[in-house]
Amino acid sequence: MKKAIYSLAVFLMLIGCGHTFAQDDKSQTKSMTVVGLQNGRVVAVSQNGKFNVQQNIDRTITRLQATGKSRVTLVYDTVNYINVNCDSKEWKFRNDFIIVKGTTLLIDDADGIAVYEVHLKRNDLQFVNRTRQAEIVYGKPGDEDYQFQADTIIVNSFTATPLETTDNMALHQSIEDARRRLNDAKEQMKKSKEEYKEHIRDLKRKQAGIVEVVSEEYTVPDSSDTAFWNSWDNQYTFDGSEFDTEETEVAEDESEYLDEDWDYYFEDRFSPSFLWAFTNWGDKWYNGLSKLDGAYNLKTSFSSWQLEAQYAVIMTRHFKFLLGVGYESDIYKFSDPLVDIDANGNISNAIDALPNQSYSDFIAINQYFDGTNLNDWSSRLVARYISLPMTIGFRTGNFDIGITALPALAINTRHCGLKHSLYTRNIEHQSVTDVSNSLAPYKIDLRIDMRFHHIGLFLQVATSPLFQSSNQDLYPIKFGFIIK
């Protein structure tokens, strides 16, 4: 009987203590104390080892707040619960670190040693905010290392006017996912393009009866990986790991076949070019840089330029044959201020043809130029052509050599011919004399150019005289720069 009475007394005492504790807990703004419960979600507390406590939250949570130095990881889930993790043996958990007021969950940890993993229902949560020293990051379910990844979202502090909503956090995650999917699509597109090109090569090999030995090794990336294309090594990089997009072994007797015309596309074959050069002429095709005497003497001037566009009808690794069309403008500047060109293309000094061979005689005939001097004048011959360049090119690495034949047809416009110009403070005068009948209607020049990458030098000589019936044969020469 006494044992029964003692047992009943102990039972009633325990009930009274529990009631007192509940009343006490309720008085503290209805705080929720995280304890080690015996259910499927809870891990017991160990004061001598790692601290790991997990507790269900059996009410709707619409607002999450972090103060102090709290480190909070927010994870969208189908239930509400909180998990506290800490590796420090010196840290002690207090029941006022985690408080629930109405539908607000408050994490207030002044030390910032533990990590509070908060799982909340996404549809219920409306606002997330923090103080300046607190951290709230957005986690991904099932990832053990998500607490501080690169796609961390830091939400607004209490002092900020607008509060960050969970919709904004979801938008950020959607953007990150879309970026990853876009990278994956780019990788797949590049791989598909290479596979298609290889398929075309296979068909060509089969048509030519070539036996192929091909092996391809590639890895399909996971959709969550981020891919980067390394053009230097011709590889993709996935989170620090690399793999070759394609490894192909080709028989020695097949290597030259892979360089046939079909292996080069329009952008490889098409080549526009610009040429700019010094020009002069001589009495032989090879001595254009040696000056002539009298009225035929020229100033070596940087006044010849050409525009061309060519297409390689034959193209291999080391050889190509190009055809195209071009436009050429040549300006020959005379050393004598005033020269004349007759109907046969003979050039003479205009002053030497006057009675006293002086500029005063010229002024007497042309009163309009009274008060000017002979040195105020300049004379130049302008000739322009439409050309059809034909080039044989050789290349090794980045070094190219081209040998070009340029048949060209002379054109006559109001800007072509012999030009006399006078520029003084009082008079500006320019006259153009048509000399198209004395110029050769067509010509054939030869050119050699040497280029490294796209820039180089060229030398161009004439195979026929500039004028068709002149007493003095004139062979123009050009030396300058080419960009191709």
In which region does residue 47 sit, left (phi positive, over 0), alpha (psi from -120 to 50) or beta (all else)? Answer: alpha
| 296, 305, 441, 460 from 274: Cα distances, Å | 29, 7, 24, 14
Q: Are 258 and 249 in contact (CB under 8 A)?
A: no
CA 396 to chain centre: 27
Residue position matching structure tokens 């060519």: 310
Cα separation, 342 vs 219, in Å, equals: 78
pLDDT greater than 50 at residue 343: yes
Cα separation, 314 vs 482, in Å, equals: 22
Residues 412-422, mean pLDDT to the nearest whole number: 93
Q: Are 392 and 378 in contact (CB under 8 A)?
A: no
pLDDT in the model for residue 241: 44
Cα separation, 426 vs 386, in Å, equals: 38
pTM: 0.49
Q: Are 484 and 456 in contact (CB under 8 A)?
A: yes
Considering the chain, what is the average pLDDT of its residues? Answer: 77
Q: Are 97 and 62 in contact (CB under 8 A)?
A: no
Amino acid at 386: I
Tokens encoding 441? 């209607």
pLDDT greater than 80 at residue 233: no
pLDDT greater than 70 at residue 156: no
CA 236 to chain centre: 17
pLDDT greater than 60 at residue 464: yes
Query: For the segment 313-342, what is each residue's pLDDT rounded down to a tens digit?
Result: 999 989 999 999 999 999 999 999 999 999
CA 213 to chain centre: 35
Cα separation, 294 vs 303, in Å, equals: 21
pLDDT confidence of 474, banded at 50, 70, 90? very high
CA 168 to chain centre: 31
Amino acid at 458: F
pLDDT confidence of 127, banded at 50, 70, 90? confident
Q: Name all contacts of 291-298 with Cβ < 8 Å and 24+ positions apart.
A: 292/472, 292/474, 294/336, 294/349, 295/334, 295/336, 295/339, 295/347, 295/348, 295/349, 295/352, 296/347, 296/472, 296/474, 297/334, 297/335, 297/336, 298/332, 298/333, 298/334, 298/335
Query: For the segment 270-289, what is each residue's pLDDT rounded down to a tens digit?
Result: 999 999 999 999 999 888 88
Cα separation, 200 vs 214, in Å, equals: 13
DSSP assigned state of 467: B
